[in-house]
Structures are given as C-alpha cells and as structure tokens.
Amino acid sequence: MSGDVLLSGERLGHRYLDRFPALDDVSLELREGEALALLGANGSGKSTLLKVLAGLVPCQSGTLTAFGEPVSEEALADHATNARFRSRVGLVFQNPAAQLFSATVEEDLRFGCRQLGLDAAETGRRVAEAADLLGIGELLDRSPAHLSVGQQKRAAIGSVLVMSPQVLLFDEPTASLDPRTADWLTGLLRSLRDAGRTLVIATHDLDLAAAVTDRCLVLGEDHRPAATGPTPAVLADQDLLTEANLVAPSASRHPGHPPSITVERR
C-alpha cells in the first residue's frame, strides 16, 4: 500500500463506564484509498473501534492520529479542528435510526450540507445526487421514523455521503438488507472504493468483505486484534475464522432441521 496514512491508532484501549472492556491494545493504520474490513464476533469491539476512529468515543489508552493531527477530546473541543475532522471522516451507524433525527429524509440529507456551510445550490445538487445514487428519491418527504430499517439504512448512508468525506466508516452496512439490496450496496461500496474513497467496513458479511476490502483486521472475543492481513488470506484461513467466531463449525450450522422436513411452495 503506497497511499499516505490517513488514520492511525496506536495501542487503543477502551472500557465503557470504566468497567466493560470493548477494545484492548488495538493498533491500526489506514492508508489513503484502501478498504479495510473489521471482522469479529458480536461484542468483540468493531462498533466501538469505528466510533473511536470517528472521534465519537474517546479512548482511555493509546493514541489516535488523523491526517497528521492528534485526535483527542481536547483537540476536538476546538471548533475549527472539530469541523475539519468531521468533514473528512463520516460514520454510518450500525443502527441507522440513531443518525436520522429530522422530520423528513430530505432534511436529514440537508443537515450534513449545512454543517459544511454549503450554499443552497450546492446543497440541492448534493441532495439530489445522493438521493439518486441511493434510490431514495421517493422517500425524501417521508419521516425517517416511519421507514423500514432497510430504507432507513439507505437514508443514513445518504446523510453521510452528501458530506463527501474522504474516509467512510460503515458499521454493518448490509445487515437488515434483503439479498438484492445487499448486493446493490456491495456494488456501491466497491464503486466508492474504485473512486478513491478510503473505507473501513465492520461486518459479519464475509462476501461483502471479499468483494470490497483489501485488508482485514480481525478482533478476538478478548477485544484484542486476533489477526490482520490481506482479505483473501484471512478469508481462506478456516481455523482463524472459526476461532474468531466468524463462521460456525459446519456441524452446527443448521441445528434442528432434519432432512426429512420438506418445504411446501405455492
């Protein structure tokens, strides 16, 4: 990888409420233009790591550097530093409802443009472009609270894409999507990568990781890095995948379904 290092975390550690461990001694480097998958079992710390990288959860130990500047609570307390950082790093939450708070989807998309201080013409252009890209034109005047989770997900992605951040962090982007929509989103993430965006994708969807990412960081259930390497090598390591609880041992994959049961179709 030859691009500049955009984000770098060194020996990051976090415990919620000083009690619940979420990250322990995690180091990573994210280079311009690369796509990194964060893999790991439920509760291993993927979402926490994304929130740390997005400057939303301060680490109790270790250091985070973004675009050559330290990221800390003190640094982000400065308005100009905060605005600069937030315009360059965007996080799409695991729970899309958590980032949709306006009366309509369109207002949620406009909100990000307002944060950037964009004028009305540029805002209109970006909202229309994101709505078109995500196929949410029909949803613009709807209340986000009344959308299906899959629709909310597309709206939440739109609310981040309008800001056009250089680094895009996606938390379980294909979860709750039907297979056709998940496929379409995989294609969208690939095209973002091909267009030069830098991506970090936390996911249980190994097909997504294979299709979009160059490299994987696997978090173990002890919240420490269990492995890191090129995506094809990580995904070919069955022992690692089983140990990190990324695939179920084949014998227990479909428990309780004896082959004698048949499915009736209309």
8 Å CB contact between 159 and 96: no
- Applying CB under 6 A, among 8, 47, 159, 213 the residue interacting with ligand ATP is 47
Nearest approach in angstroms of CB 49 to Mg ion is: 9
Nearest approach in angstroms of CB 70 to Mg ion is: 26
8 Å CB contact between 11 and 61: yes
The residue ranges that bind Mg ion (CB under 5 A) are 46-47, 94
Nearest approach in angstroms of CB 219 to ligand ATP is: 7
- Applying CB under 6 A, among 4, 11, 16, 78 the residue interacting with ligand ATP is 16
Nearest approach in angstroms of CB 46 to ligand ATP is: 4
Amino acid letter, 36: L
Residue 43 touches ligand ATP, criterion: CB under 6 A: yes
Residue 152's CB is within 10 A of a number of other CB atoms, namely: 24
Q: What is the dihedral of CA 204, 15, 224, 229, to 10 degrees?
A: 50
Q: Report how far residue 208's alpha carbon sits from residue 185's, in angstroms, rounded to the nearest whole number.
A: 9
The item of ligand ATP, Mg ion, none sharing an interface with residue 174, based on CB under 5 to 8 Å by kind, is none
Measured from the CB atom, the residue of 175 and 212 that comes closer to Mg ion is 175
Amino acid letter, 56: L
Residue 220 touches ligand ATP, criterion: CB under 6 A: no
Binding to ligand ATP, residues 54-113 (CB under 6 A): 94
The item of ligand ATP, Mg ion, none sharing an interface with residue 45, based on CB under 5 to 8 Å by kind, is ligand ATP
Nearest approach in angstroms of CB 251 to ligand ATP is: 23
- Applying CB under 6 A, among 8, 35, 36, 40 the residue interacting with ligand ATP is 40
Helices 149-161 and 179-194 cross at an angle (nearest 10°) of 10
The item of ligand ATP, Mg ion, none sharing an interface with residue 42, based on CB under 5 to 8 Å by kind, is ligand ATP
Residue 197 touches ligand ATP, criterion: CB under 6 A: no
Sign of the Cα pseudo-torsion (45, 51, 56, 62, in order): positive
Q: Report how far residue 152's alpha carbon sits from residue 101's, in angstroms, rounded to the nearest whole number.
A: 11
Pairing of strands 35-40, 198-202: parallel
Q: Report how far residue 159's alpha carbon sits from residue 153's, in angstroms, rounded to the nearest whole number.
A: 10
